[in-house]
């Protein structure tokens, strides 16, 4: 995938998130919203390598991941609105996006909650003899959770096809990275004998290249790998966060390294015409307008559907519910 395509995806994520923020503040989106603004190069650069047969586990900040693997923007927006045309029929919302057709095994409101799901999916691929990689995203807050260590250990021990992707945006909710971690990430990963690379999350091409290098080993059956991407969220932990834990100057300095502006500058410097970029951006704006209009005209779920699609149906002769 070339830089122009990566830029299109980053632009789609950025504009989607900016519109979601406005809609949430206008009272049209219920629940909580955690925005991905500033981290677009991570989803775009990593998931540009996503193939049919791969799987994804996400976080509470998962809109960008979903868009990057091709989840349809209209169905995503309808889900955020809580409408029956959403990808989870309006029952998942922002933090529980799930799309089986795309291999997306869910966003997750629990810190590190996607890690055991990813390892389980990797084991499933191995046991069934299927090709594929599980892309497992998590934030720096997950580094202190035992399930990360359990997941790394099992994935390394069983040589599972899992790419662990740490989006280190420097803050776990309101706690700075240095305040809560007594170790270096490379040392942690080395303890499990897992290949490790890090990348600058403001440079989508660097993220793309580092991902390609690690995936080559995973797809050859060499076991898991770990990518740490240094990134920064331009918005608070959630919409409405007073952000007392970081200074306005720090955020402004980070915004000067906006991954979208960097990618756009590279494209113009390489000879891509300004009009071509403007046409691309206009196409994405039209796609977003269509998504919002679709969500707003979609119906609410019927009350009698409240308990449908929530539990697995019995399979075969196994006596579910007995014993």
pLDDT in tens, 225-260: 999 999 999 999 999 999 999 999 999 999 999 999
**pLDDT for the residue 320:** 39
Q: Is the pLDDT of residue 322 over 60?
A: no
Give the Cα separation of 134 and 227 in Å (integer): 13
Question: Could you report the per-residue pLDDT of 272-309, keeping only the tens digit for each?
Answer: 999 999 999 999 999 999 999 999 999 999 988 888 87
Domain with residues 3-298, CATH architecture: 3-Layer(aba) Sandwich (3.40)
In the chain, where the domains are located: 3-298
**pLDDT for the residue 285:** 98
**pLDDT for the residue 170:** 94
Nearest one of 89, 50, 53 to 70, comparing CA atoms: 50
DSSP class of 240 = T
**pLDDT for the residue 314:** 54
**pLDDT for the residue 178:** 86
**pLDDT for the residue 46:** 98
Q: Which residues contact 263 (CB under 8 A, 6 or more apart)?
A: 3, 6, 7, 10, 41, 204, 205
Q: What angle do CA 40, 105, 181 make, to 5 degrees?
A: 60
What predicted TM-score, i.e. pTM, was given to this entire model? 0.94
Q: Is the pLDDT of residue 109 over 80?
A: yes
pLDDT (mean) for 112-136: 97
**For the chain, how many residues are written?**
323
Question: Could you report the per-residue pLDDT of 177-219, keeping only the tens digit for each?
Answer: 988 888 899 999 999 999 999 999 999 999 999 999 999 999 9
Question: Could you report the per-residue pLDDT of 56-99, keeping only the tens digit for each?
Answer: 999 999 999 999 999 999 999 999 999 999 999 999 999 999 99
* HSE (side-chain half, CA atoms, 13 Å) at 21: 18
Nearest one of 95, 254, 58 to 171, comparing CA atoms: 254
Give the Cα separation of 95 and 76 in Å (integer): 12
Residue with tokens 């290098």: 213
**pLDDT for the residue 192:** 97
What share of the chain in percent tops pLDDT 70?
A: 96
Q: Is the dihedral of CA 23, 29, 30, 33 positive or negative?
A: negative
Q: Which residues contact 121 (CB under 8 A, 6 or more apart)?
A: 55, 57, 105, 134, 162
**pLDDT for the residue 313:** 62
CB burial of 186-214 (b: ≥16 within 10 Å; e: otherwise) equals eebbeebebbbbbbbbbbbbbbbebbeeb
CB burial of 57-93 (b: ≥16 within 10 Å; e: otherwise) equals bbbbbbbbbbbbbebbbbbbbbbbbbbbbbbbbbbbb
Which stretches does DSSP call E strand in 87-177?
Answer: 134-139, 162-168, 171-172, 175-176
User: Which element (helix H / strand E) includes 214?
Assistant: helix 204-219
Question: Per 3-state DSSP, what percentage of the chain is helix, strand, and coil (rounded to 5)?
Answer: 50, 10, 40
**Position 318 confidence tier, pLDDT thresholds 50, 70, 90:** very low
Query: Between residues 322 and 170, which one has the greater pLDDT?
Result: 170
């Amino acid at each position: 995938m070339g830089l122009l395509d990566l830029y299109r995806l980053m632009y789609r994520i950025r504009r989607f998130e900016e519109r979601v923020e406005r809609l949430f503040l206008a009272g049209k989106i219920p629940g909580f919203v955690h925005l991905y603004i500033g981290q677009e190069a991570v989803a775009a650069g990593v998931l540009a390598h996503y193939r049919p047969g791969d799987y994804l586990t996400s976080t509470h900040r998962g809109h960008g991941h979903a868009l990057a693997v091709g989840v349809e923007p209209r169905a995503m927006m309808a889900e955020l609105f809580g409408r029956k045309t959403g990808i989870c029929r309006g029952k998942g919302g922002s933090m529980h996006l799930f799309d089986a057709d795309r291999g997306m095994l869910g966003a997750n409101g629990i810190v590190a909650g996607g890690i055991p799901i990813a390892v389980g999916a990797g084991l499933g691929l191995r046991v069934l003899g299927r090709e594929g990689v599980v892309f497992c995203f998590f934030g720096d807050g997950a580094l202190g959770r035992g399930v990360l260590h359990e997941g790394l250990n099992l994935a390394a021990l069983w040589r599972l096809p899992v790419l662990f992707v740490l989006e280190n945006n420097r803050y776990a909710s309101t706690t700075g990275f240095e305040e809560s971690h007594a170790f270096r990430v490379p040392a942690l990963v080395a303890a499990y004998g897992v290949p490790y690379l890090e990348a600058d999350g403001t440079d989508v091409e660097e993220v793309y290249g580092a991902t390609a290098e690690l995936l080559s080993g995973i797809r050859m059956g060499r076991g898991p790998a770990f990518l740490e991407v240094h990134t920064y969220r331009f918005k608070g932990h959630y919409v409405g966060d007073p952000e007392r834990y970081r200074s306005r100057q720090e955020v402004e300095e980070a915004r000067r390294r906006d991954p979208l502006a960097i990618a756009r500058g590279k494209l113009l410097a390489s000879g891509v015409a300004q009009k071509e970029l403007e046409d691309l951006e206009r196409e994405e704006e039209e796609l977003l307008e269509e998504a919002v209009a679709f969500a707003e005209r979609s119906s609410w779920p019927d009350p009698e559907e409240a308990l449908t699609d929530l539990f697995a149906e019995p399979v075969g002769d196994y006596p579910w519910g007995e014993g």
